[in-house]
Amino acid sequence: MPSVNLLNRETGEVAMTGVAVDPLGIGNDVTLGYRLRLYATNALFFEGSLNLGLGYRTLSSNYDLKTYVIDDMSFNADRWPILFIPMRLGFRMGITLF
């Protein structure tokens, strides 16, 4: 667990120093995938894939994030919740047994 400072959201002053927060980031996304499979022989294949979508992330903590701001860029409230665009590229190679 990271050790960070907590700021009071209304005043901007440091409320707690060096506290261990337990952040939990939750992300959900919907992706659309495309696969292309090429056969070199009857048994050997190559496959490429491309996935693109839209997602949403939220952050929760063991402290009230409506009262406190986590003073760390990774867990800063300005970055959460956030919409994101997941893009995944993949490549597989294998053999077909049957």
- Rounded to two decimals, the pTM is 0.56
d(CA 94, CA 98): 12
Give every CB contact of residue 53 below 8 A, 6+ residues apart in sequence.
29, 30, 31, 32, 85, 86, 87
Cross-strand pairs, 29:
55
> Mind listing the pLDDT tens digit for each residue in 41-58?
888 999 999 999 999 988
Give every CB contact of residue 42 below 8 A, 6+ residues apart in sequence.
96
> Mind listing the pLDDT tens digit for each residue in 58-90?
888 888 878 888 877 777 666 677 888 999 999
Phi, psi at 79, each rounded to 5° = -95, -10
